[in-house]
Structure 1
Amino acid sequence: MGIFSRLADIVNSNLNAILATAEDPQKMIRLVIQEMEDTLVEVRSQAVRTIAERKQLERRVRTMMHEEDEWHRKAGLAIERGRDDLAKAALAARHSVEQSREALEQQIAQISDGLDQQNDDISKLQAKLADAKSREKALSLRARTAQGRLKTREKLYDTRIDDTLNRFDQVERALDELEGKAEAYDLGRRTGHPTLQEELAALETDAVVENEFEALKRRVSGKKNDA
């Protein structure tokens, strides 16, 4: 496939259709971008060579125009010297150079038209390349986001995590039972010296009992005296 044929195919391609039929859109768009970039390099190189060729042809045209002027001058000189035969030969040579020049000018015009069309195609290709690169960035971002979500979901629904958490629950229940057994041994048992709070509570209780005892004793003594 020639450079210009491939360029036309890419310029006329529909990126949406390419991505819709691709198994791996991100990989496909990367390949499309690479193809576009390679094509641009080749087309620009070809354009440089074509422009150089056109400049050479333009120089030849200018040389031929100078030759035409020279043959015309020589024909006039021959007429002045009475050499009509040489004048006609000079004009015939001038006409031959003129025909060659006109053919070159037509070739230059065709080359210029081709370069104009090529320039238009390159502009379109550059626009598609910019669009493709923008889509590649968007796809890469979506791919990274999707991969992150997938990892999160995989961890969220990973049965190994649930099993581990269940084991934690079992360990906590076992520890609760052990702590309960340890505390049960202390129920109803008093060991060592009473605490400060226990001693103060006992003093308060003794004071209350003592007061009630004294009050009751006074009532009993008063009844005896009345009797």
Structure 2
Amino acid sequence: MYTSSIKLHFLFFVMIIAILIIPAYSDIISDSPVMYQASTYAMVESGNYSEVITVDEMKSFGNFGVGGFKDLDGELTQINGDIYQIKHDGSVLKPEGDTGICFANTITFDPEYLINLNETMNEDTLLANIHDSFPDENVIYAFRIDGEFPEITVRSVPPQEEPYPSLSEVIEDQSVFHLQNISGTVSGFWFPEWMQGVNYAGFHTHFITDARDAGGHVLDMTTENASVSIQPIYTFTMILPDKKED
């Protein structure tokens, strides 16, 4: 009888906790912006660089993101709603609205917390500090780094023609740019290990200068006086390539 009473009290306690937690978690999800993703990393890795969405469509989905263009024609960085195309020759363009995009992540950026990293840090230390701030390693994070970059190494890739080679083959012909003593913004996402293939598990970062005259996919960086804005992501919508017209 005493044991049954304990069980009943425990069950009642669990039910109360569930009633309190479930609506709270539901509120978190409903209040959080949705991340939109065009294509998957596995598709791009295998050599699918066909158009999935356009620049105008990406802008309608979010104001902050990263990606690549149709035919893998340069690196894509989205900051404050503007989309930039960093070509393999290092030039930076603002592409037309009907320009095709083969892969992208974008979100209406609404960071939940900010960390200031005033020390000079190499990339490993910087990313470790950002990772250590994550409250939950099972969700996605968008983050923005604004600051000074004593050194940053970025890359872009040349446009491809069908039949497309794999991403690893394209990267063999990448253009690498070593930038020094500049200020700018890193747009980035972090994906948990269980999402490998859907996206790239770990950090994916792109950079553009404050002058909007250089940037690319980040290979290495050193920062100082960095301000990092971070947004957890609980929901996302995936847009897959449509082959019906092929």
Could you say whether these structures have the same fold, taking a TM-score greater than 0.5 normalized by the shorter chain as the test?
Answer: no
- Based on CA coordinates, which of the two structures has the bigger radius of gyration? 1
TM-score normalised by structure 2 residue count: 0.21
Higher relative contact order (CA 8 A, sep 6+): 2
TM, length-normalised to structure 1: 0.22
More strand by share: 2
**Structure with the largest fraction of helix:** 1
